[in-house]
Amino acid sequence: TQLLEQSPQFLSIQEGENLTVYCNSSSVFSSLQWYRQEPGEGPVLLVTVVTGGEVKKLKRLTFQFGDARKDSSLHITAAQPGDTGLYLCAGSVPPSYGKLTFGQGTILTVHP
Amino acid sequence: EAQVTQNPRYLITVTGKKLTVTCSQNMNHEYMSWYRQDPGLGLRQIYYSMNVEVTDKGDVPEGYKVSRKEKRNFPLILESPSPNQTSLYFCASSYGAQQPQHFGDGTRLSIL
């Protein structure tokens, strides 16, 4: 059983469409991180959300942390082919602050 | 340049032959960790280290060992590798588990 459930696992869309990726858990997280990974490389951090209800924007990407700090979402507006990649959420559950858990990931493909 | 360096990048070996994957970081990070990445399962934490001489199990520690004798190095040891340890392995470092993780480029291990 995954501590962090990501959905959908696969997303194939056309350039210009909007999309949302979800990261859900029954546990409360101290914070959640979102990463993007490209083939042949390690994940790269996009954002960290810390406060319940927090919303962070990174150009066309909007990240939200649920009020209860059990879930998070990533919304991409007007997706571009350059957004293609594997998106991962990750967090740690108190008091196990050293143990970092990742979701299964969402493979996003944006077609020109 | 700030980086996490893993070696080797690729390795094909046989069951039972001890191997070590090295990981070194030049950012003076306290926290280091190892993950394996398998299709559909995301990244799963094997071991982590909060600081020198402090290591702890992640979610999938069976069949692996680690050591943290120096701050910059965190080798992953497979004493008796088995085919189910065939995977893509990533080392990461940061100032803490809830801080941005800096990943290496990965090591692809094939155990025959």
Strand arrangement of the beta sheet that strand B19-25 belongs to: B4-7, B19-25, B76-78, B65-66
Pairwise CA distance, residues A99 & A3, whole Å: 12
Q: Is the pLDDT of residue A99 over 90?
A: no
Q: Quick check: A97 pLDDT over 80?
A: no
Higher pLDDT, A36 or B97: A36
3-class DSSP state of A18: coil
DSSP states of B27-88: S--SEEEEEEEETTTEEEEEEEEEETTEEEE-S--TT-EE--SSSSB--EEESS--GGG-EE
Taking an 8 Å cut-off on Cβ atoms, the answer to whether A43 and B100 are in contact is no
Of the partner residues A9, A31, A40, the one whose CB lies closest to the CB of residue B98: A31
What pLDDT score does A1 carry?
A: 58
* CB-based contact A45 B44, cutoff 8 Å: no
Residue A95: count of CB within 10 angstroms of its CB: 8
Rounded Cα–Cα distance for residues B25 and B6 (Å): 9
d(CA A60, CA A52): 21
Q: Quickly tell me which residue has 């066309």 as its tokens.
A: A60
* DSSP character at residue A41: S
Residues 6+ apart with CB under 8 A from B26: B2, B3, B72
Whether B42 has a pLDDT exceeding 90, the answer reads: no
DSSP A47: E
Do A102 and B43 make contact, defined as CB atoms within 8 angstroms?
yes
CA dihedral over B35, B38, B43, B44, signed as positive or negative: negative
What residues in B contact A6, CB-CB < 8 Å? 42
Collect all residues of chain A within an 8 Å Cβ-Cβ radius of residue B10: none
| Chain B contact set for A48 (CB, 8 A) | 98, 100
First to last CA, chain B: 36
- Sequence-distant (6+) residues with CB within 8 A of A32 are A23, A48, A49, A65, A69, A72, A89, A90, A91
pLDDT(A102) > 70: yes
B61 CA to centre of own chain? 11
Nearest to B105 among A42, A97, A105 (CB): A42
Say whether A98 and B50 touch across the interface (CB within 8 A): yes
Distance from CA of B40 to the nearest CA of A (A): 6
What pLDDT score does A10 carry? 96
At B43-95, the pLDDT tens digits run: 999 999 999 999 999 999 999 999 999 999 999 999 999 999 999 999 999 99
Percent of chain A with pLDDT over 90: 81
